[in-house]
Amino acid sequence: MAEGGHYDIVILGGGSGGYACALRAAEFGKRVALIEKDKVGGTCLHRGCIPTKALLHAAEVADSSRESAKFGVRTTFDGIEMPAVLSYQQGVVERLWKGLQSTLASRKVDMIYGDGRLTSPTSVAVNGAVYTGDHVVLATGSEPRSLPGLSLDGVRVITSDDALRLDRVPSSAIILGGGVIGVEFASVWRSFGADVTIVEMAPQLLPLEDEASAKVLQRVFRRRGIGFELGAPFQSVSYTDSGVQVTLGTGKQLDAEVLLVAVGRGPVSADLGYEENGVTITRGFVDVDPLCRTKVPTISAVGDLINIPEIAHPQLAHVGFAEGILVAERLGGLDVRPIDYDGVPRITYSDPEVASVGITSAQAAQRGINVVEVNYPLGGNGKSVILGTQGQAKVIAEAPSAPGGQPGRVLGVHLVGSRVGELIAEAQLIVNWDAEPDDVAALIHPHPTQSEIIGEANLALAGKPLHFHA
């Protein structure tokens, strides 16, 4: 381990944003110090994306074995052995963690383990040593937050961090927050046999997704026996003999073994020397411009930690990667362009999955954009019928500029159904390369695949529907 010293770039925080910046900067021959107080890989690798997706895969296996008779395959579902599920999950995390450490070592990034603190616009102190850099990148990420007056005890009132460590399936759970994290845990726990109710203040699950996607998700969740209370503000929680009782603003009371609080994530920025050294902060988030520059010329910031005025900044691992790369390239002297945040693909990996890129119908209306839309049901798609999944592909395009003309650019793609997350990569090329439905209609999609739903929706928008009921 290095003992203090001078670097081209000192990065505080080794999560998705920080390590992506380190890896790309090293490609420019920069000397990089990456400071991490826990495990490199951060939230995504150890407490977020990867462990939750491992749980969701185990949940899918449970559902497949339970429902296998429908496909003529005889199996017996004997139950969930949570310690074994956790060991599979941990095995996945550890393999990726080892790989990441060796990638960082191969690029000669100096890892410094310890609690870092910004001590000047060009230095970070760790374990009594000082690391100076021509440039410092803040990447300290986020942590679960709660609501005022709602205290977390880690046993009955828990966060996603606690939920990932739970070595049993709760018999019942109330999930506060119907965003991505809440919906994914609801899906896992239901597949594992728990009674689940989601409490969401907004009028739909996944409030940031298109209303049409949320409606399909809600229909399927209802069929799966997942309860939800929408437009229902949380009021209070009390302990009972067997768990917790939650009272909603509507007066309704719900009982369960655990309450999972999934109401969003707050920035990790307190007492780290940020404001003392001239960095401005809004509600704890570090203010940056669209090129991730703070007010201090030698300090940039990336990932879940940042606030960009006028932009709804998504807290996603791939956004952290992109921002880390952007900063490294800017410091490497490349001519970088701001990220188009509307063009970032988003996936909720529940059953069914919800995936989207671009704007929603509500956003098109707010921005005064005239659009045409198609909802292509998965029932018309051979592969989806084989899988037994329901859902839809909604494509939003600019309305034709003259009557009878072709629609303009595709502005949004919103998918719901099993495995549709993998399809959003094609949708993002369509949206980000400003393709029009007629361009996409000319491309042949392989049959029978779920990717045909994107082809079919665009064929319909281009006025030449194939497997589509008028």
Residues near ligand FAD (CB under 6 A) are 12-18, 35-38, 42-44, 47-49, 52, 115-116, 139-142, 160, 181, 268, 272, 303-305, 315-318, 320
Smallest distance from ligand FAD to CB 461, Å:
29
Looking up tokens 């939920």, which residue turns up?
163
Residue 156 CA to residue 259 CA, distance in Å, equals: 6
Longest CA span, the chain: 71
Q: DSSP readout, 112-146?
A: EES-EEEEETTEEEETTEEEEEEEEEE---EEE--
Our CB check for ligand FAD shows the closer of 115 and 289 to be 115
Cβ neighbours of 247 (radius 10 Å): 14
Our CB check for ligand FAD shows the closer of 165 and 464 to be 165
- Within 13 A of 374's CA, how many CA atoms are on the CB side? 27
User: Which of the following is catalytic: 46, 414, 447, 467?
Assistant: 447
Q: Which residues of 161-193 are buried (b: 16+ CB within 10 A; e: fewer)?
A: bbbbebeebbebbbbbbbbbbbbbbbbbbbbbe
Q: Which residues of 427-437 are buried (b: 16+ CB within 10 A; e: fewer)?
A: bbebbbeebbb
Residue 297 CA to residue 403 CA, distance in Å, equals: 52
Smallest distance from ligand FAD to CB 140, Å:
4
Q: Under 8 Å CB-to-CB from 227, ≥6 apart: which residues?
A: 195, 196, 197, 198
Smallest distance from ligand FAD to CB 76, Å:
31
Our CB check for ligand FAD shows the closer of 49 and 136 to be 49
As beta bridge partners, residue 166 has none
Cα–Cα separations (whole angstroms), residue 55 to 214, 280, 424 = 22, 38, 21
Smallest distance from ligand FAD to CB 438, Å:
32
447 is catalytic: yes
Smallest distance from ligand FAD to CB 391, Å:
19
Our CB check for ligand FAD shows the closer of 12 and 441 to be 12
Residue 255 CA to residue 37 CA, distance in Å, equals: 38
Our CB check for ligand FAD shows the closer of 207 and 463 to be 207
**CB 313 within 8 Å of CB 305:** no
Our CB check for ligand FAD shows the closer of 170 and 380 to be 170
Where would I find the H helices in 107-244? 160-165, 180-191, 211-224
Residue 188 CA to residue 164 CA, distance in Å, equals: 11
Our CB check for ligand FAD shows the closer of 100 and 372 to be 100
Residue 199 belongs to what H/E stretch? strand 195-200
Smallest distance from ligand FAD to CB 62, Å:
19
Smallest distance from ligand FAD to CB 320, Å:
4
Residues acting as catalytic residues = 447
